[in-house]
Structure 1
Amino acid sequence: MVLDTQRGQWRCHLRSCRAEKGLKTNNWIQSAKVKLPTIVHLIYGWAHELTSVEFCKHEFGMSKSTVVDWNNFMRVVCVWKISQGDSKIGGVGCIVEIDESLFVRRKNNAGRILPQQWVFGGICRETNECFVICVPDRLENTLMPIICER
């Protein structure tokens, strides 16, 4: 498939095929009301932390609710991608940093403590591959199998 930027389509270059497919066909941007160039700029801006509501309103002419929806969508895509990673990270000569965090929500540091969630993750310094897993606790019996698997 070759991208035809003039017509906004993917086109098969084989003479026997010559099939064409639109850029927004059968993918996650098919139902988007935002124009494709704006989506590309928004994704680029999001990757470089340039998607504040005011910035997007000024640069892209987007409403506050649209900016918030797209920022939330990008986060969901990242969480989905990280949760799909079943491969091992690191290797010989690579440094993998691991850490655990406790997530709990209290309003204004007052009131009862709500359920707590331990999250365990790691990142390879050389390749930037990472993993994040919710764990019930941070005991050795829980974390060692995850470290060996990942």
Structure 2
Amino acid sequence: MTIKEDFSERENCLSRGTINEWFTYCKEAVVIYQIEKQTFDGKIGGPGKIVQIDESKFGKRKYNKGRRIEGHWMLGMTEDGSEDLRLEIYPDNVRSADVLIPLIKKHVAEGTIIHTDMWRAYNDLGNHEFTHNRVNHSDPDNAFVALDGTHTQRIDPQSRITLIIGKISQT
């Protein structure tokens, strides 16, 4: 929204690139704060409860072009109906099922219904005492909510930042 404002008639306005850099910096600062301050009171989820899980990369595009992003991969998990948010940075920036499953088991109770996207590293979750439902973001008819109601809208990157900012303002 800040970028969409018309600054053309004002002197000394910030460029689109500067505004993007500041927003990126602020998002990263909020995530770092959350990771450093988070405390865990047991696991989230449980039988019949839904936990949404998604991953994202925080950083910036290499040479400000294309889709290659330099930065750190992060895993976010939140239980529906709860403000409890769990964040983990992938160790050594390795994003694989071998790293993912232990991180999820660390934070999510057995018997939980887990909602994710279609990333293949999630494929084995059903074999680890979880019920696993997915949404296919590539489906042109149901890109955000699957026919069975599965979605990850509460844990998508923008929603995650909003949850973090909300938690910070409560402390």
Shorter-chain-normalised TM-score: which range? 0.3 to 0.5
Q: Which has the larger radius of gyration?
A: 1
- When normalised by structure 2's length, the TM-score is 0.37
